[in-house]
Amino acid sequence: MDIKKMLPRDKFDIESVKELGMLSNNELKVIIPELLEWIQDGNWPIAKSVEDLLLRFGEELIPHIKNVFKTRDSTWEYFMLTGLISRLPSKYVVMLKEDLERLLKHPTEDELLEEMDEIIIYLLNRVD
């Protein structure tokens, strides 16, 4: 089975997300980066369902989230912060503390425009 063929085809493809939800974490973990792409815009109809899938991974998500922060894609970062990351238990959020502090103290111009400081302060307060 080629799991990549099971990925959503568009932002409305909730059926594919449901089918992925029936797979084991071991089967899904190879497509974590591709799943993260489906939460680039929290307004997409499948974004919340994909977040639900990703939350099954906990600590395994951290390196992938860090990779998203390296993209400096401010919109993606914003939706990760307000969605997926804000839903993670504090014991995993603390692993992102350095990235969160960078976003707060040294944001790019685009990151400033997304006005992420409020959610970042909230997340940092959860882990301090």
Q: What is the pLDDT of residue 112?
A: 87
CB within 8 Å of 125: residues ≥ 6 apart = none
pTM above threshold 0.85: yes
Q: What is the separation of C-alpha 79 from the centre of its chain, rounded to a whole number of angstroms?
A: 7
Closest CA to 62 of 89, 28, 25: 89
Say yes or no to pLDDT of 101 above 90: yes
The DSSP letter of residue 43 is T
Class of domain 8-127 (CATH, top level)? mainly alpha
pLDDT digit string, tens, across residues 17-62: 999 999 999 999 999 999 999 999 999 999 999 999 999 999 999 9
The 10 Å Cβ neighbour count of residue 103 is 26
Band (pLDDT 50/70/90 cuts) for residue 69 is very high
Structure-token match 């409020």, residue found: 118
CA atoms within 13 A on the CB side of 109: 0
